Amino acid sequence: MPEARIRPGRSAGKEKILLRAVDKAREALHELTRPEMIGEHAGVVVEGDRVLTHAFHCLLPGYGGWYWTVTVARIPRSSRVTIDELALRPGEDALLAQEWVPWEDRLLPSDVQPTDRLPYRPDDPRLDQGYEATGEDADQLADYELGLGRARVLSSRGRDSAFQRWYAGDHGPNSAGTKAAKAACSTCGFLLPMAGSARTLFGVCANEWSAYDGSVVSMDHGCGSHSETDVGKQKNMWDPSDPVVNEADMEILP
């Protein structure tokens, strides 16, 4: 069924023969629906030379703004009208379903559970073929026989997307924990550097007492579990005085 909206009009230009075929078009619709579901003639749509579409208001419940359409045609220098196509088509005021979106475009990372399995994407723009990748992010193919390394590795687009996502998130420099921290992760002994181009930007936290243990953190991230920081010394609520000794109750022994 065609989805393009139609706008029926009253003019058919010089095409008078097809314009007069309203009754023939209505009769043809009886093959598609019951007569009581066909409303008044709403107009025509010129499809091309000697090709015209008649539109009738659709009276089916729930199909307000839709039209029953019958496309008719004739051959040159002939007055014989033939039926080409019958359809139910939307008008300008018709309610249409939203355009279908492929699963890979509508699925969010938060929708995926640890036990879910995602379909294989052969054309994933975030990945390159392993044998085509170059630079510090590629496998060291010299250490492998061809075909024994990873089939695909991150493309530059995939790396940039990941880096931007990590840096802008809670493990980047703009989190509340970082603003309250006294030192950055780059100086923390619990930071495990990453390999490749990520090494200058990110590391992995290896401090089990940190809220970010096992997570990727930016070099300028920070938290209160830094290896070289300590809690501040608390000030006394009052200054203690020297003890007072009551000598009147003391017995002096020889």
Per-residue pLDDT of the chain (254 residues; tens, 9 = 90+): 445 899 999 988 888 999 999 999 999 999 999 999 999 999 999 999 999 999 999 999 999 999 999 999 999 999 999 999 999 999 999 988 888 888 767 878 788 676 766 667 777 777 777 656 556 655 554 444 444 567 788 888 898 999 999 999 999 999 888 888 888 999 888 899 888 888 889 999 988 888 889 999 999 999 888 888 765 666 777 777 777 776 666 666 66
Strand pairing class (191-193; 152-154): unpaired
d(CA 64, CA 247) in angstroms, rounded, equals 106
CA distance 8 to 15: 15
Nearest to 37 by CA among 54, 55, 60: 60
Kindly report the CATH number that applies to the domain delimited by 16-90. Answer: 3.10.450
- Identity at 96, one-letter amino acid code: L
Return the DSSP state at 232.
P
Q: In this structure, is the dihedral angle defined by the CA atoms of residues 51, 32, 89 and 57, taken in order, positive or negative?
A: positive
Running DSSP on this structure, what letter comes out for residue 9? B
pTM check: above 0.75: no
Helix (H, G, I), strand (E, B) or coil at 128: strand
- Strand-strand pairing, 82-90 and 127-129: unpaired
What are the structural domain ranges in the chain? 16-90, 120-154, 158-218
> Tokens 């930007």 correspond to what residue?
201
Contact 176, 209 (CB under 8 A): no
CB atoms within 10 A of CB 177: 17
